[in-house]
């Protein structure tokens, strides 16, 4: 198959530091190349891929801006329109409107964000697009769409390391925002008398939270703040951690760091929000807890984690969340969507962009 893969212009593929969407795109593209598919990646010039790379911006453009995204997407479509592809896979909502200009090409769009009413209403204008949500919970919260599959993220397990006996610390990795719960993770570690390594950074919209609730906690003696980390730092951090703490306070669509931990044999101890109940298997890849007290009780020395089987955790995570599984699921979807479009009469294809969908 000949796939046009449109990434974002905000981070390189793969991202140099921590990144979610662009890291998954990298795994998918490299896996598709391994399977012999012809993939053209529309990303930034500082990306690293074995696929054909096309770019408008030589370097990633951070922080995100809608004008930058629109410029990147429209330029990508100008290149797609002059080439020969079987399908377009995009990760930007602005690309949906551009598909009206090439209605003969089927489009797959992966929704990476939490439910936003304005975007949900926008999606209903494009019933011909095949949507992908990254968890069942995300799909259940989204406006019902005419074509929508659930495909969990997947990563290359060989990039992660596992040990049978961890060190005596827990960790938190993620944005320093109230939704992610770094302050709660610190409190739980303190109650359990454990050191916690905290990795992440403050985004502008979380500055008030960080100043009032997080900054004082980062100065506590049991806390080691290590800033934003990429894969090279995450691998040993998760490998040696007693647990990854994820006291979520929002409906997180997926949470890539959860499977990064599991692939490292590191149990995830999380609140049952967002995708966590789908991803975490109690006693196998981690535990779901309802409070900071229960989290502390779970992670303390002499508790459940002392007998946790880290090798079994890694094996189960590899079964469910590997790059191979990710690529297999998307390849099957591409084939199905391409085949369905080929069976449609030409007149029907031309009129697809004029359709509307009503709940």
The pair of three-digit structure tokens given for residue 20, joined into one six-digit string: 């979610």
Q: Are residues 98 and 194 in the same domain?
A: no
pLDDT score of 342: 86
**161 in the same domain as 151:** no
Residue 79 included in any domain: yes
| Number of domains composing the chain | 2
Span 241-284, pLDDT tens digits: 999 999 999 999 999 999 999 999 999 999 999 999 999 999 99
- As a whole number of angstroms, the distance between CA 106 and CA 149 comes to 15
Mean pLDDT of 44-53: 98
Residues 289, 342 share a domain: no
C-alpha 58, offset from chain centre: 24
Q: Is 47 within a domain?
A: yes
Shared domain for 60 and 95, answered yes or no, is: yes
Cα–Cα dist 245/264, whole Å: 14
Establish if 113 belongs to a structural domain.
yes
- Whole-model pTM: value is 0.93
CA–CA separation, 214 and 217 (whole Å): 5
Quick check: helix, strand or coil at residue 247? Answer: coil
Could you tell me which residue, 346 or 270, shows the higher pLDDT?
A: 270
Q: Is 138 within a domain?
A: yes
- Same domain for 67 and 146, yes or no, is yes
pLDDT per residue as tens digits for the range 180-220: 999 999 999 999 999 999 999 998 888 999 999 999 999 99
Same domain assignment for residues 138 and 236: no
For residues 273 and 328, membership in a common domain is answered with: no
Both 181 and 317 in a single domain? yes
Domain that holds residue 290: 157-321
Instruction: Indicate whether 205 and 121 sit together in one domain.
Output: no
> Same structural domain for residues 306 and 350?
no
**56-72: pLDDT as tens digits:** 999 999 989 999 999 99
136 in any annotated domain: yes
With respect to residue 359, please indicate whether it lies within any of the assigned structural domains. Answer: no
Same domain flag for 23 and 97 = yes
State the CATH number of the domain containing residue 243: 3.40.50.2000
Q: Which residues of 18-54 are buried (b: 16+ CB within 10 A; e: fewer)?
A: bbbbbbbbbbbbbbbbeeebebbbbbbeebebebebb
């Amino acid at each position: 198959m000949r796939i046009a893969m449109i990434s974002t212009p905000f981070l390189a593929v793969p991202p140099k530091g921590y990144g979610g969407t662009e890291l998954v795109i990298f795994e998918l593209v490299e896996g598709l190349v391994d399977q012999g598919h012809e993939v053209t990646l529309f990303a930034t010039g500082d990306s690293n891929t074995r696929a054909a790379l096309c770019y408008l911006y030589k370097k990633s453009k951070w922080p995100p801006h809608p004008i930058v995204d629109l410029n990147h997407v429209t330029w990508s479509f100008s290149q797609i329109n002059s080439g020969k592809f079987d399908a377009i896979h995009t990760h930007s909502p602005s690309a949906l409107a551009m598909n009206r200009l090439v209605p003969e090409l089927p489009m797959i769009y992966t929704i990476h964000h939490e439910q936003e009413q304005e975007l949900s209403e926008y999606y209903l204008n494009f019933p011909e697009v095949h949507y992908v949500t990254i968890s069942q919970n995300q799909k259940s919260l989204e406006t019902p769409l005419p074509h929508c599959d659930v495909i969990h993220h997947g990563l290359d397990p060989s990039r992660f390391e596992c040990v049978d006996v961890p060190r005596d610390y827990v960790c938190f990795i993620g944005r320093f925002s109230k939704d992610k719960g770094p302050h709660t993770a610190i409190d739980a570690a303190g109650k359990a008398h454990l050191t916690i390594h905290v990795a992440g950074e403050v985004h502008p919209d979380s500055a008030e939270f960080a100043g009032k609730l997080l900054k004082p906690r980062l100065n506590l003696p049991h806390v080691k703040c290590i800033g934003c980390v990429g894969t090279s730092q995450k691998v040993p951090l998760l490998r040696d951690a007693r647990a990854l703490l994820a006291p979520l306070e929002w409906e997180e669509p997926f949470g890539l760091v959860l499977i990064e931990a599991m692939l490292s044999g590191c149990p995830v101890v999380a609140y049952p929000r967002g995708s966590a109940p789908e991803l975490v298997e109690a006693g196998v890849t981690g535990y779901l807890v309802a409070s900071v007290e229960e989290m502390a009780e779970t992670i303390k020395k002499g508790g459940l984690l002392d007998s946790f089987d880290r090798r079994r955790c890694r094996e189960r995570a590899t079964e469910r969340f590997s790059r191979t599984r990710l690529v297999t699921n998307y390849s099957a979807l591409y084939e199905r969507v391409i085949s369905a479009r080929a069976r449609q009469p030409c007149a029907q294809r031309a009129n697809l962009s004029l359709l509307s969908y009503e709940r």
